[in-house]
Amino acid sequence: MRGILHTLKEVAGRPSGAIGLALVLLHIVIALCSPWVVPYDFKAISAIDILTPPDGKHWFGTDQMGRDVLTRTLLGGREAILVTAIATPLAVFWGGLLGIYLGLAGGRRDDIIMRVVDAFLSLPWILKMLLLIVTFGNGIHVLIPTLAFFYGIPVIRIARAAAHTVVARDYVLAARARGEKRITIIRRELLPNVLDALMVEGAMRWSWMLLAFSSLSFLGFGVSPPTPDWGLMVADSRTFLPLAPWAGLFPIVFLSSLIIGINMLADALAKTLGVDRAQKAPI
């Protein structure tokens, strides 16, 4: 397994990787430092500054309640990055381990579980998540396991496909012939050889989770007002877009730049690790 620092150095050596890494790090720094650098209180309302265009006082203008758009945009990614940064490793962890196990075990158990996975994947993701969120609430304690569960299901297919390419190799057959337990074979033989594919998949899942989280906030099932969030800001400003496009434009730009950065980073990571993202999972 390649060292993390060595891999990051190779990724940063690619143009797409350097741009993607710079965008991701920029957003992480903004999320960490924004509470101390924003010019206004994100809850501050001004009746005389409603829908003010960008100027020297409000660089990104103000929204329909007179709140500073720059302040809310800089703070708007904190919840999204926090929730998805926790949910993504959880999704890759449980989905990856289950997929590797199914790739090794095979048989009737594999067939049954994969049909259940297919059934889940056939349903629109938004309906599945909304069902749980409406039932249990939209707090972080619900959003994190919900995203981790539903986005871990596709990881099962990816991990299973990667494990299938390793199971038939001589060192795995030798481990089975020695009578080693499945958990030992997974830990020593399979996991190190499918970790690259799981890292790339994790990067892709992160970008999709960010989009899903913002979509939930846009629909009113994510972050609750007055907490600033990019999806919620777009939803609040959509009625006023013809009059004040800046109120919705800047959060869209910030969200898009982060997702683009993650996708570029994932693409460079896939090329560096030699992972074929177009590989089909066996049925």
* Mean pLDDT score, 2-8: 71
* Top-confidence residue, 126 or 21: 21
* Mean pLDDT score, 122-141: 82
What pLDDT is attached to residue 115?
A: 92
Superfamily of domain 4-273 in CATH is: MetI-like (1.10.3720.10)
Instruction: Provide φ and ψ at 62, rounded to 5°.
Output: -130, 165
* Mean pLDDT score, 162-179: 83
Please report where in the chains the tokens 């989280």 appear, as a residue: 213
* Top-confidence residue, 73 or 272: 73
Whether the Cβ atoms of residue 175 and residue 184 lie closer than 8 Å to each other = yes
Residue 283: band (very low, low, confident or very high) from pLDDT cuts 50, 70, 90: very low
What pLDDT is attached to residue 3?
A: 65
pTM (predicted TM-score): 0.89
Residue 144 in tokens: 């994190």
Nearest to 84 by CA among 216, 268, 236: 216
Residue 174, C-beta contacts closer than 8 angstroms, at least 6 positions apart? none
What pLDDT is attached to residue 279?
A: 53
Whether the Cβ atoms of residue 202 and residue 151 lie closer than 8 Å to each other = no
The residues spanned by each domain of the chain are 4-273
Residue 257 in tokens: 């730049």
Handedness of CA 155, 158, 162, 167 (dihedral sign): positive
141-144: list long-range contacts, CB under 8 Å, 24+ apart: 143/83, 143/87, 143/213, 143/216, 143/222, 144/83, 144/86, 144/87, 144/90
> Of 50-54, 124-128, 152-156, where does the model show the most confidence?
152-156
- Distance, CA of 203 to CA of 217 (rounded, Å): 22
What pLDDT is attached to residue 184?
A: 86
280 has a pLDDT exceeding 80: no
220 has a pLDDT exceeding 60: yes
Average pLDDT, the chain: 88
Residue 1: band (very low, low, confident or very high) from pLDDT cuts 50, 70, 90: very low
What pLDDT is attached to residue 281?
A: 47
Residue 164 in tokens: 């299938």
Q: By CB neighbour count within 10 A (0-12 exposed, 13-18 middle, 19+ buried), where does 109 fall?
A: exposed
Give the model confidence (pLDDT) of 60-92 as tens digits: 999 888 899 999 999 999 999 999 999 999 999
* Mean pLDDT score, 86-104: 94
- Distance, CA of 50 to CA of 232 (rounded, Å): 18
What pLDDT is attached to residue 277?
A: 57
- Report the first-to-last Cα separation within the chain, whole angstroms: 28
Give the model confidence (pLDDT) of 25-39 as tens digits: 999 999 999 999 998
